[in-house]
Chains A and B, each alone.
Chain A
Amino acid sequence: QQQVKQSPQSLIVQKGGISIINCAYENTAFDYFPWYQQFPGKGPALLIAIRPDVSEKKEGRFTISFNKSAKQFSLHIMDSQPGDSATYFCAARSPRQETSGSRLTFGEGTQLTVNP
Chain B
Amino acid sequence: KAGVTQTPRYLIKTRGQQVTLSCSPISGHRSVSWYQQTPGQGLQFLFEYFSETQRNKGNFPGRFSGRQFSNSRSEMNVSTLELGDSALYLCASRSSGRIGTDTQYFGPGTRLTVL
CB distance from A27 to the nearest CB of B (A): 14
Interface size classification for chain B: 20 to 34
The answer to the question of A98 belonging to the interface, with a C-beta cut-off of 8 Å to chain B, is: yes
Which of the segments A63-71, A75-83, A99-107 contacts the partner chain?
A99-107
Specify the chain B residue showing the minimal Cβ separation from A98.
B99
Q: Give B56-115 interface residues, CB cut-off 8 Å to A.
A: 56, 58, 90, 92, 97, 99-100, 102-109
Once the chains are docked, how many angstroms separate the CA of A102 from the CA of B92? 13
Interface size on A, residues (CB 8 A): 27
Q: Is B106 a contact of A101 with CB atoms below 8 Å?
A: no
Are B48 and A103 in contact (CB-based, < 8 A)? yes
On B, residues with C-beta under 8 Å from A are 4, 31, 33, 35, 42-45, 48, 50, 55-56, 58, 90, 92, 97, 99-100, 102-109
Interface set of A (CB-CB < 8 Å, partner B): 32, 34, 36, 41-46, 49, 89, 91, 93, 96-109
Given A44-B106, A106-B43, 20 additional A-B pairs, CB 8 A: A32-B102, A43-B4, A43-B90, A46-B105, A49-B103, A89-B42, A89-B43, A96-B100, A97-B99, A98-B99, A101-B31, A101-B48, A101-B50, A101-B55, A103-B56, A103-B58, A104-B45, A104-B104, A106-B35, A106-B42
